[in-house]
Amino acid sequence: MNKGHNAIIEQFRHITENPHEYAKSLQGKGRLVAGYMCTHVPEEILYGAGIIPVRILSAHVSQAMTRSYIHETYCSYSHDCAYQGLQNHYDYLDLIVHSSSCIHMAEAYNVWVRFAGFQQKSFLMTFPHVLYTKPARGFMVESYGELKQFIEKFVKKSISDDDIERAIKVYNHTRRLLKRLWEFLRRDNPPITGLEVATVTLAAQVMEKQECNQMLEELIQGLEAEPGKESSGVRLMVTGSSVDDLRVFDLIEHLNYSTNLIFIESCTAARYFWYEVPEDRPDKLEAIAEGSIGRIPCPAKDTVPGTGEKKRLRFIQQFIQDFKPDGVILVYQRFCSPQAMDILAVKPILNMLGIPWTELELDTTVPITQFGTQLEALVEIIKRVEP
């Protein structure tokens, strides 16, 4: 792989390792920066007002002290995000915005507002939990309207339809570029590793999108011209809850057997960008609502009224068809109930498709050698290793 896009990937990696430094550099250029934890926050409205939305990620350092703020049976992702607030790592943010998410992340947000000094610079947008009804769509548009009014008061200038349309186009462009980046992994010998794509995707969630788009375009052009690597190994796909611990993906691609991480269906990867907001629509908030309803649903908001079906399973089966994994890795946050109830329904599907799987239980700190053993055992099953 030529030095060109290695350098770009390195830039993305640097941003994932120093998100604060990057965000402060944006503020240095006079930009306002707003943090969000749940991806149902419509970033286009913030971006349209000139505010740069950045995702609040966890740091994977043990934080028992958050047990006196958040009950211990909440997921480690909510504890870690709360801990970042309590440790004042994100004090520089001008604003945090949250949409009514699963109750664990709602509590992480509450800790920031009650105990981490974000009382005056925070906004909670009520958002539906059952998305696939006509009333839900109307409720969403009303909620977006309330957020828009708040932001207009916050930046003391109105947000025109053109502002939002421009933001929609920039964000759709990022989504298309990220999709093309992930499409490389469909090849038998992709020119880029799954870990690198995951790193770029994670960085994209904390970056100013126009700058991110330029880097993505340059990277993709470089990769187009790049011949694939030599023989590719076992193709592994990850599906499950938010994973912003790149060590897990690093481990998946550095086992004792050659493996390729070819897809990650998670809210810190595919679920973040695998959709588009319809462009050039008269009602911009209506368009954002339509885009949001078309997303891969988060397990906490995935019930199809009538059948009670989990719509996310349709997407998972489509990704399996397109990316052709040899094995699937189910990741779930310890104590996450919605995810545990989804995994219950994914396993029979994988068994019927004849695709071996294993479960990794994520926590603040992850037992790397145990995970390594589980993953290598999965690969040994796929490669039919026997004495």
**Contacts to another protein from residues 97-136, by CB under 8 A:** 100, 102-103, 106-107, 110, 114, 126, 128-130, 133-136
What 3-state class would DSSP assign to 110? helix
Stretch that binds another protein, among 155-163, 203-211, 215-223, 366-374 (CB under 8 A): 366-374
CA dist., res. 184 & res. 201, Å (int): 14
If the CB atoms of residues 225 and 345 are measured against another protein, the closer one turns out to be 345
Which position among 51, 93, 178, 251 is part of the footprint of another protein (CB under 8 A)? 251
Assess 65 for contact with another protein (CB under 8 A). Answer: yes
Assess 343 for contact with another protein (CB under 8 A). Answer: yes
> Per-residue x/- marks for another protein, 269-308, CB under 8 A?
------------------------------xxxxx-xxxx
Assess 87 for contact with another protein (CB under 8 A). Answer: no
CA dist., res. 76 & res. 206, Å (int): 20
Which position among 64, 157, 160, 188 is part of the footprint of another protein (CB under 8 A)? 64
> Per-residue x/- marks for another protein, 150-189, CB under 8 A?
----------------------------------------
CA dist., res. 368 & res. 191, Å (int): 27
Which position among 60, 173, 187, 281 is part of the footprint of another protein (CB under 8 A)? 60
Assess 67 for contact with another protein (CB under 8 A). Answer: yes
Assess 353 for contact with another protein (CB under 8 A). Answer: no
Select from 16, 27, 28 the least CA-distant residue to 51.
Answer: 27
Stretch that binds another protein, among 138-146, 153-161, 162-170, 221-229 (CB under 8 A): 138-146
Residue tagged 């349709």 (tokens): 314
If the CB atoms of residues 52 and 140 are measured against another protein, the closer one turns out to be 140
Assess 354 for contact with another protein (CB under 8 A). Answer: no
What 3-state class would DSSP assign to 262? strand
279-310 exposure pattern, b = at least 16 Cβ within 10 A, e = fewer: eebeebbbbbbbbbbebbbbbbbbbeeeeeeb
Closest distance of CB 269 from another protein, Å: 18
Select from 266, 262, 241, 294 the least CA-distant residue to 105.
Answer: 241
Select from 244, 246, 274 the least CA-distant residue to 174.
Answer: 274
Site for another protein, residues 231 to 250, rule: CB under 8 A = 233, 246-247, 250
CB 265 within 8 A of CB 236: no
Angle, helices 194-204/3-17, rounded to nearest 10 degrees: 50
CB 179 within 8 A of CB 270: no
Count of residues that interact with another protein, criterion CB under 8 A: 91
